[in-house]
Structure 1
Amino acid sequence: MSDTSELVPFRARRAPNPFDPRNNADAFEIRLLLRPSDLSDALRLRHRAYADHGHVPHIDGAEYRDAHDDYPTTALFGAYDDGRLVACMRLCFSMSGDDLAALPCAPYYPALAGIAANAPHGFVEVSRLAIEPGIGNTSYRATLYGYMVRAALAAARAAGVSRIVVATRPDWVATYKHLLSFEQVGEPALYPPGDMPITLLSGNLEDASKRAFMRNRFFRVSDGDIALMRRLLSPILPPIQAAVATASTR
């Protein structure tokens, strides 16, 4: 695997902060983070965001990480605005329905195993989505969050998985259900690092993509977006594709 974090022009579809004339529709770009320094920056941002929500103590320079950050089928992305890291997100791919160990949520939501039969090409879990807590503009944060969700849809399409799962706070459940037709999986559980019940949602990728586009054109994922994301994911696609090949022979 290369140690270079590649930047590609996977752009937002509208100004991230419409109140700031200096920003434009090309403001956000995304990287698959591979360099140790970039990974550390993202893990520190993740810790700051969790500390801001009271999930972990405030410790200058601390990183928040777990074992799934080091899985070969895990991708950590960073979103940049004018060269500044403003958000990060982790995607964990599990290409075999009977082996969910690559998904961080699996131990906390046993009901996930019950929908594996509906995912012949596996899952991707969207997790650890964090936005720099120092960014206070609500419109900017909402657009950035939507941009990261759109990037996750493109990555899932690029990898060819069947379903997306996301463990989310209670205040985001209605949004995912409305925009992406996601359905609840099992009962809410205490999913680290928080101490509140977190809901696991899952959706068929094709249905989610169609619903998202109908509800909001911002979420439209074009063939060009998928091609760019496939290039971005190329350092980790070989192990993902190997898992697909193994699963298809069973």
Structure 2
Amino acid sequence: MKSGAEPRASFAVRGGALFDRVDYRPIETPEAKDQLYLMRYRAYTHGNLIPPSGTERYSDRYDDAPNAWTFGIYVDGELYSSIRLHVLTSDQRMSCTTDLFGDVLHPRLDRGEVFIDPARFVADPDKAQRFPELPYLTVRLAYLACEYFNADTGLALVRPAHQSFYRRVFLNETIAEPRQFPNALAKVALMASDFRAVREHVMTRFPIMRSSAFERRMLFQRAPHAFQEAEISTFERASIVPSS
């Protein structure tokens, strides 16, 4: 057992117990953003994904995109991990994924598909080892977003070493081979899953992926002006999705 790690138990038992200690919070205040950008920097330099910098912070232009939701995952009130989610539609396409794999995604967006595009999935390098379930509880937000926005497809930018996790958990398939990620020391492949086709199978294997309509609204609902008027139909479709 790693030093500082809590005793292991089955995922079903530990995951449920940890879930009661987890809060999902939107990253909105200057203080929360600074804490997040510091954690990102520490995580990326720890993983040799970016070179050191004097600011010891990492952010990008997509953090303030109108179609982006950034969350911190807090355990017992402490920030442990984070993820940024982009909702991609024919009218809202801003994300690092569409910039890198536009040749793959733009034709599908032109046909009216809706994608949930997770990005900037990071964990505190000192805290993450305590909870093997943390990646599941973090990526769970992408699954809730697929449900809320009635998405056709969930995407994932994945380094080669992590592709097996996404195949196992979300039944993702690789739809584009690895490309060099801008301003990073890594290549990433584009993976995707048909959300409606895999939904029940994933929820059966990992019950913590289930959620209520109330939880999804609390996480993702915004005033219409915050996500352009053209997207109101997406919210309306999502509102009729039954609770699990």
Q: TM-score range by the shorter chain?
A: 0.7 to 0.9
Distance 1:132 1:240, change over 3 A: same
CA distance in 2, matches of 1:236, 1:56: 36
After TM superposition, give the deviation of residue 159 of structure 1 in Å.
2.4
Q: Which residue of 1 aligns with 2:89?
A: 95
Conserved? CA contact 2:68–2:86, under 8 Å: yes
Q: Which moved more, 1:66-75 or 1:185-194?
A: 185-194
Q: 2:218 aligns with which of 211, 219, 231?
A: 231
Amino acid at match of 1:156: C
CA distance in 2, matches of 1:155, 1:123: 10
After TM superposition, give the deviation of residue 193 of structure 1 in Å.
4.2
CA distance in 1, matches of 2:169, 2:175: 17
Distance 1:133 1:236, change over 3 A: farther
CA distance in 2, matches of 1:245, 1:234: 11
Q: Quick check: 1:69 aligned with 2:63?
A: yes
After TM superposition, give the deviation of residue 145 of structure 1 in Å.
0.5
CA distance in 1, matches of 2:95, 2:222: 19
After TM superposition, give the deviation of residue 115 of structure 1 in Å.
3.7
In the alignment of these two chains, the number of paired residues is: 224
Q: TM-score, normalised by structure 2?
A: 0.80
SS of equivalent to 1:149:
helix
Q: 1:208 aligns with which of 165, 180, 198?
A: 198
Q: Quick check: 1:132 aligned with 2:124?
A: yes
Percent sequence identity is 21
Distance 1:200 1:123, change over 3 A: same
Q: Which residue of 1 aligns with 2:5?
A: none
Q: TM-score, normalised by structure 1?
A: 0.78
Q: 2:152 aligns with which of 156, 159, 162?
A: 162
Please list the CA deviations of residues 29-74 of structure 1 after superposition, one character each: whole Å capped at 9, or x if unmatched. Answer: 1101111111111111111100101122345762211111111111
Unaligned runs of 5+ in 2: 1-10, 235-244
Amino acid at match of 1:208: V
Distance 1:24 1:136, change over 3 A: closer
Distance 1:243 1:94, change over 3 A: farther
Q: Which residue of 1 aligns with 2:165?
A: 175
Unaligned runs of 5+ in 1: 1-11
After TM superposition, give the deviation of residue 116 of structure 1 in Å.
3.4
